[in-house]
Each structure stands twice: as structure tokens, then as C-alpha cells.
Structure 1
């Protein structure tokens, strides 16, 4: 299928999953995970109906911004963000989805204050408690949400998670359900900010339909749109 057909197919699958769960498909936004894609491919995806692009790498994102590749779409940063890269991201993206620590939260606040702006963020939750992944443990999240909500240059918009890899179809639904409950709990806890907290980002190419049925408002999809990513180039083979 062409890229336009792939975009239409994924959008149709999101809509079908939403209707099956009794939800309005308009409640769910497809975020195109554009990691390793060219500027021309990103432009083609936007022309095909993509309204939000998600980038994992600061260097790639900066190059695409310089190339004006995201014109016509909003931009989210969805990858692991190091504190020393914060100044390259704050104020350049509509939403940082991967705030995983107090140190990172404070760095974003400081940079946003320097720029005199308010940066929208999501808190990243390590819902499976995996040692190999960054993110807050569920028990830590309410306190971090309070801290984020109290920062004058940060607007907490919700939560994001990448559950453990599932070995069977539907294997992640329990984690998605736990994220939905945590999202509801955070909204209940932060009554003053309830109207701002409207984003629950979960689900990728292999499980976004399950995520939609469990309450996702953002799904981050790469492979199902663009096909398998090329192998990551190493420093050694870049010189060849």
C-alpha cells in the first residue's frame, strides 16, 4: 500500500476500535512516529492526513525543523529526553511526552522560564516496573503530578506509557487498563488542573487498537504507517 493508504488504514482501525468501545473516534489522535524518516516522507504523511508527528531523537528533530518538514502538523517529542538536550526541545515542540524524573521536570521548567513560555508535558509511567525502561513507577506518579502542576512554566496534560512487550495478542490490555485508572486518579487528585489533563498516550503499531479500547487519546504509530525501520547506522559503518 502507498503511504496515503497506510495512513487511511490505521485511521480506520482506530475508528473501528473506538466505536467497538463505545467511544467517539474523534477523541483519539494518531501520532506518526517519524523516527528515521526523511523530510520528504514526513511531508507526504502530513499531506495524507497526519496532524501530529512524534520524534524520538533530538538531532533528527532539529534537522527536520530546519527543513520545515513538520509544516501543517503539530510536533511531539516522544523519546527519552536527556537533561542536557532540554534547551533544544523546550519551546520547539507542542508536547513533551516523556518526562520521567524530577530532574528532567526541573530542567524543563528552568528552560521554559528562560524563554518566558509554558511547555506542555506528559509524565512517562513505567507501568510494567521494568528495570530497563525509564519512567515513574505508578506509586510515584501522583506526587510528581502535583509537582508538575505547581510549576508556573509547565502545563501537565496527562500521562504516557510504553508497556512491556506482549507475547500474545491482547497481552498489554491489563497495563492499558491500569494506565487509564491512574489517569482518572490524577484528574481526580488535581481538581484545579482537571481541564488541562486530557491526554493519555499509549499504544503503538502492535497494540494501538487495544489501547484505544482501554482509553488512549493518543496512539504513537510508526511501523504500521511507514513499514519496518532501516537498521540503525553505527559510527563504524557511517564511515564506510
Structure 2
């Protein structure tokens, strides 16, 4: 068994049944992704559109590609025909563009709304008021080619576990509150939080989807 497949197997054995593991394959070669794929793993995450489209074009067609990076509106058209889930939707403008490109591709695109939970200025995301405006606004009901399936957040990059736990806990409370939103195109059942450095805390605080790169593939190639 290769190093990658054994890391993946060990990791999966520690996860709760209802937790989806997205293997973050950004900067990784096709051979590494195929090693993980050969174990039966199908969910892979990329944070750059160009890399995502190249890999989707050249790798097995049943892979479920997750767009986990910050997405610019002018790049949506390249991934709309095939992307499985867009994680970082942080504005109504972006949602409109995803809907527009979803119509052209004749499909409904699943999205997570990204909530700003970290104390760092560099992290993208909606505040609670902006989240409410999108979820309870009139316009969402007209966007028939997007479906909001959950929330996503990134904790502060810190060794302070209490801080990370507090941020994840706050997002989980918001998730529990929003689970009952009832538009046709809102089915909130996914809480995406937790990466290689903090996923055990995220799972304890209710995460149902984690994004793991280095703990599977080793340190990132720059």
C-alpha cells in the first residue's frame, strides 16, 4: 500500500460516519490523486480554477470536484459544467453568476455559503447579517440554478485551541439555526469546517465535511 493510500485509510477510520473527507489535491500531480482515487476515494478539492479544469479534463470522470478556494466571478463559467460543490460563496453577486452559468450548463450547482468566523482580516466570508440577507432575501427564490446546501468557515490560524473551538462552535450554532430555512433551493445539511491542522476540533464541534491536504499528500508543493 502506498503512503498516500495508507494515510487516507488511517484518516478515514478515525472519522464519524456522517463526515465527508475532501482530499485537498491542489499543487499535487495526477499520480498522487490517482493513488487516492484507487482506494475508492472520490471527493477532491482544488483552490485554483485553472488547475481544477485541467485536472477534471484529464482524470477519471466520476471524481467529485470541490472548488474550495476564493472564486472570482469571471472564472465561474469554466467550472460550472462539472463542479460538484462550490465551498466559498461569499456574496450575492457571486451567487447570481453561478446561477447564470448553471443555466447555461443546464444544471443546478450546489454551493456552501462561506461565513467569516476567524479573527484574521485575510479570510473571506459573510457576516451574520449578510448571511441572513441572502438566505431570507427575495432574490434567492429566483435563482433556480443554484442550491444552498450548507455553510463553510475557516478558523483563525492559531495554536490557541480554545479560540479555534469557539469559532467552530459559533458556526455550528449558526448552522443549526439555518438548517430549517425552507426555500426550494435551500437544503442546508452540510457544515464544512476543519483542515489538516484543526479538523479533530472541527469534528467535535459538529463538522460534517473536512478539507484535508497535507495529512494525506504530505507537505504542499509550491
Q: 1:165 aligns with which of 132, 157, 162?
A: 157
SS at match of 1:191: coil
What pairs up with 1:9-158 in 2 under 5 angstroms? 9-14=10-15, 25-67=16-58, 69-128=59-118, 130-147=120-137, 149-150=140-141, 151-158=143-150
- The CA distance in 2 between the partners of 1:142 and 1:198, in whole Å, is 17
The CA RMSD over aligned residues, in Å, is 1.9
User: Structure 2, unaligned stretches of length 5 or more?
Assistant: none
CA distance in 1, matches of 2:187, 2:175: 12
- SS at 2:188's partner residue? coil
> Matched residue pairs, number?
219
2-structure distance, mates of 1:63, 1:136: 30
Residue 183 of structure 1 corresponds to: 175
Q: Secondary structure at the match of 2:94?
A: helix
Other structure's SS at 1:92 match: coil
Further displaced range: 193-202 or 175-184: 193-202
Question: Structure 1 residue 192: deviation in Å?
Answer: 4.2
In structure 2, the CA distance between the partners of 1:139 and 1:195, relative to structure 1 (3 Å rule), is: closer
Using a 3 Å threshold, how does the CA distance of structure 1 residues 10 and 153 change in structure 2: closer, same or farther? Answer: same
For residues 169-208 of structure 1, the C-alpha deviation after alignment (integer angstroms, 9 at most, x for no partner) is 45411111111111111123x1345982111100000111
**TM-score normalised according to structure 2 size:** 0.91
Change beyond 3 A, Cα 1:117–1:161: same
**Distance change in 2, residues 1:121/1:61 (3 Å):** same
Q: CA deviation at 1:28?
A: 0.4
Q: 1:211 to 1:163 in 2, by over 3 A?
A: same
Counterpart Cα distance in 1 of 2:136 and 2:77: 24
CA distance in 2 between partners of 1:101 and 1:171 (Å): 26
- Give the Å deviation of 1:129: 5.1
Distance 1:71 1:119 in 2: 17
> CA offsets per residue over residues 43-101 of structure 1, 9 Å max, x none?
1111124221111111111111121x244431111111001101011121111111111
